[in-house]
Amino acid sequence: MWMKSQCAIVLYCRYYNVTINIGQPPKPYFLDLDTGSDLTWLQCDAPCVHCIEAPHPLYQPNNELVVCKDPLCAALHPPGDYKCESPEQCDYEVEYADGGSSLGVLVRDMFSLNYTNGIRLNPRLALGCGYDQIPGASYHPLDGILGLGRGKSSVVSQLQSQGLVRNVVGHCLSGRGGGFLFFGDGLYDFSRVTWTSIKYYSPGIAELHFSGKATGIKNLILVFDSGSSYTYLNSQAYQTLTVLLKKELSGRSLKEAPEDQTLPVYWKGRKPLKNVRDVKKYFKTLALAFASRGRTKTQFELHPEAYLIISLIYGPYTIVMITSSFSVSSTDISMQDRMVIYDNEKQVIGWTHANCDQLPRSKTANM
């Protein structure tokens, strides 16, 4: 499945989505990739109580409801809070870290998918028919969410339960926009991937490094979340990094820009800046280092493109700013030009540099 990048705000065109054909007959929908959640849902005409702007007409559900006692329904509810008030259907509500949410019912419908060898299949998978949505702070117009988490209701878990692929999902996001998403394990050489054990798509507790040296900031819980576009650090790590960057930029041509107060720290150049690459030489690589199976330290590098963005607010200057602090997460931007693989069966996560503009050859059947 090929992905497109979509511009949502004035800062930068950095959102990624995947196109999937769903229904009978199949119709295309743009879905936001989210490894931080399990449920896939579409804005749905059930009828819709509150739907937000979307690229395509609302999804028209069929009459195949998932009943309340279905194990997939149970997986969507916290233990001890699973009550079948409407036995004939499965009601759901999902909430996201940015304040967004979706309320609806679970249905089954046909997904049009292709193996890499060209064989087409149409598995019936459960998805949410969302009839009441609240947009979050990071909202951008899409038809719904593609849940890629480890739970039973995620698409890859459902495909595995039907014997179609191993429970492995991966993505490759191009820095030039686009990329690809895959289910199964045939698109990479296991020996050339950096692997570490995972828990809830988190490689564990990390230490922040700057320019190859430890900063003293430890015990950072790193989360891989493709549903977010920008990299976020907690307050302590953010403040430490800001001090190091200011020291590194002292005497350079970039100067702080206090007139822009949308985010805490901005710099501007003598000339308008059009791309982060224009100032890449002034900024060092960050790294998050964490123990790999208790022995060696594995590093996930964050190049300047991963923690800097361009602001177009105060023309004619284009001002470089560092992303704001919130939590420690590795997101779309920091995962660009890498193949990132979540092997849920072996409970490891891996990454390797890759050409995300071209789908590699597969030795086995993958989607």
User: For 231-255, b where at least 16 C-beta lie within 10 A, e where not — what string?
Assistant: bbbbeebbebbeebbeeebeeeebe
How far is residue 323's CA from residue 325's CA, in Å, rounded to a whole number? Answer: 7
Amino acid sitting at position 40: T
Q: Are 224 and 302 in contact (CB under 8 A)?
A: no
How far is residue 80's CA from residue 31's CA, in Å, rounded to a whole number? Answer: 31
Choosing from 38, 225, 332, 343, the catalytic residue is: 225
260 catalytic? Reply is: no
Return the closest-CA partner of residue 202 out of 348, 100, 30: 348
How far is residue 158's CA from residue 126's CA, in Å, rounded to a whole number? Answer: 8
Token pair, residue 128, equals 């949410």
How far is residue 7's CA from residue 291's CA, in Å, rounded to a whole number? Answer: 36
Q: Are 147 and 226 in contact (CB under 8 A)?
A: no
How far is residue 330's CA from residue 225's CA, in Å, rounded to a whole number? Answer: 6
**Three-state secondary structure call for residue 160:** helix
Q: Are 151 and 129 in contact (CB under 8 A)?
A: no
Work out the angle at residue 340's Cα, subtended by the Cα atoms of residues 334 and 346, and round it to the nearest 5 degrees.
135
225 catalytic? Reply is: yes
Choosing from 34, 38, 185, 332, the catalytic residue is: 34
Which residues are identified as catalytic? Answer: 34, 225
